[in-house]
Amino acid sequence: MSSLGKVFRTTRSVCPTCLRELEAEVREDDGRVWLVRECPDHGTIRAQVGVEPWYQEGLSRDFFTLNGEAPVTDDYDFPVYNLFLTMRCNMRCPICSVNGGDEGSEMTGKDVDDFLSKVRGVQINLFGGEPTLRDDLVDIVRRVRKSGNLPVLFTNGKRLIEPGYLDDLLVAGLSEVRLQFDSFDDASLERLRGERLAALHEEVLSAIEARKVPTVLEVAVARGINEGELGDILRYAVDRPFIRAVGFRSLTRLGRARRENEIALTNDELALLLEEQTDGQFTLRDLYRFQRLFFALYHVLGRLNCFYNHHIILVREPGRGFIPLPHLVDLAALEPSLDTYRERVVGGSWFATPFLLAALGRAFLTRGGLRAVRLLWRQLLSLVTGGTVAVSGGSGGVLVVGFGSPCDMLTYDLANTGFCQGGNVSLTGIATTADDNLQRERDAITGAGDVQ
């Protein structure tokens, strides 16, 4: 494949029309970063995967050098599982990536128990469709907790305002709520979700806050609709310590949003929007430095992580709103040590890990660093013991912010899919999120007669 710009790496992808697997390149062109492949039937396919070449090239160098080739195995061992309990839904979102609302077979209680018998000490995301439509959801939460796992509810929130329902879930052992929260504006919500939901969101969050339930705001961002609200959503979350994380994730071009090619955004594009909307209080450079450290720590611990999901930790600061962690700990000074660690890993040096840990000790044994450790010990403990970075029950003094690129057929990147941190669990088995998306799309377009 001939390239017009600098090639960052090679991979394999698919044609979004016929789903044929193809050789692909991630490369710079016109000051942006693209995933490019050539289908013999449908020509050249370009999908934008970044808007800042320095950012994508630097993180790509760290991630793929440290991790090598993605593991290919059917013996999945994920820290997080998405349990697809039902495809029924009480909404009909225009951007739903799984065509929620369609009737279909559901996992039985025995199916759930059979799966839970095989895992322990992991996060179980109760997923759908809308999982609260399951009449036995309270019992499922109880069984997940009894099995030694962490139950987390992904929901649009409609049923959480029913008298006693949220309390029943909490008594059963629910650890966290992840609430669909895309906008404060009813007109934007109607375009994204098909309904005017602002009042519902306010009522749901008031109920959750009154019970001090750890909460994550899941924000689907679409160009031309709600990309101007990232700063307002962040400030809203910073002011409410029960909200422990915000996930800004681009609309994914799957399901009912399959044809929405022009309104998806990349992870660095989302971060730049937030930089602008916080007047530079948070910057893309902050995210870059934290993500480099994150990749290195995950490599030390042998943990899976997706290249396209990036995170940063913000420290809540009275009177100032927040301080990004790289402003408390001098992560800029740590970057040469991260370079050395990567080089020593490539060279096979046994001293690579002790060297990195010593560098981290020096970076965190400062006034700001010790403050960060005091605030982040739950997150650090979760990292070491196999939980997620955005740990349930984390300190109200910090806020985890995530930025996710679309995981769809335009951006399918085989070099990364094996590092997927989440496993999708359904009646058909277990697959990485990326591969499950691919299979669902294959089934959908084959059924519609669209494969050419």
Q: Which residue in 50, 44, 39 sits closest to 6, CA to CA?
A: 50
Contact 98, 255 (CB under 8 A): yes
The residues pairing with 13 across neighbouring beta strands, listed in sequence order, are: 22
From first to last of the 452 residues of the chain, give the pLDDT tens digit. 444 689 999 999 999 999 999 999 999 999 999 999 999 999 999 999 999 999 999 999 999 999 987 766 556 678 899 999 999 999 999 999 888 776 777 999 999 999 999 999 999 999 999 999 999 999 999 999 999 999 999 999 999 999 999 999 999 999 999 999 999 999 999 999 999 999 999 999 999 999 999 999 999 999 999 999 999 999 999 999 999 999 999 998 888 887 776 789 999 999 999 999 999 999 999 999 999 999 999 999 888 788 999 999 999 998 889 999 999 999 999 999 999 999 999 999 999 999 999 999 999 999 888 888 888 776 666 544 444 434 444 457 899 999 998 789 999 999 998 888 788 898 888 888 888 888 888 887 776 544 44
The residues pairing with 220 across neighbouring beta strands, listed in sequence order, are: 249
- Angle at the Cα of 128 from the Cα atoms of 97 and 162, rounded to 5 degrees: 120
Tokens representing residue 85 in the block: 């309990």
Q: Please give the DSSP secondary-structure letter assigned to residue 381.
A: H
E-strand spans in 213-272? Answer: 215-221, 243-250
Q: Distance between alpha carbon 36 and the CA centroid of its chain, in Å?
A: 23
Q: Which amino acid is at 422?
A: G
- Angle at the Cα of 296 from the Cα atoms of 294 and 300, rounded to 5 degrees: 115
Distance, CA of 412 to CA of 213 (rounded, Å)? 35
- Which strands form 398-404's sheet, in the order they lie side by side? 321-324, 309-317, 398-404, 243-250, 215-221, 176-180, 150-155, 123-127, 80-84, 422-426, 429-432
Contact 352, 374 (CB under 8 A): no
| Beta carbons within 10 angstroms of residue 239's beta carbon | 11
Q: Which amino acid is at 283?
A: T
Tokens representing residue 406 in the block: 């679309």
Task: Give kind and range of the element (H or E) at residue 300.
Answer: helix 284-301
> How close are the terminal C-alpha atoms of the chain, in Å?
23
Q: Indicate the pairing of strand 176-180 with strand 422-426.
A: unpaired
Distance, CA of 194 to CA of 250 (rounded, Å)? 18
Q: Which residue has the tokens 């611990």?
A: 301
Q: Please give the DSSP secondary-structure letter assigned to residue 429.
A: E
Distance, CA of 358 to CA of 360 (rounded, Å)? 5
The pLDDT, as a whole number, for residue 4 is 62
> In this predicted model, what pLDDT tens digit does every residue of 318-344 receive, in sequence order?
888 999 999 999 999 999 999 999 999
Q: Indicate the pairing of strand 32-39 with strand 43-50.
A: antiparallel
Contact 427, 439 (CB under 8 A): no
The residues pairing with 22 across neighbouring beta strands, listed in sequence order, are: 13
Contact 155, 165 (CB under 8 A): no
The pLDDT, as a whole number, for residue 386 is 47
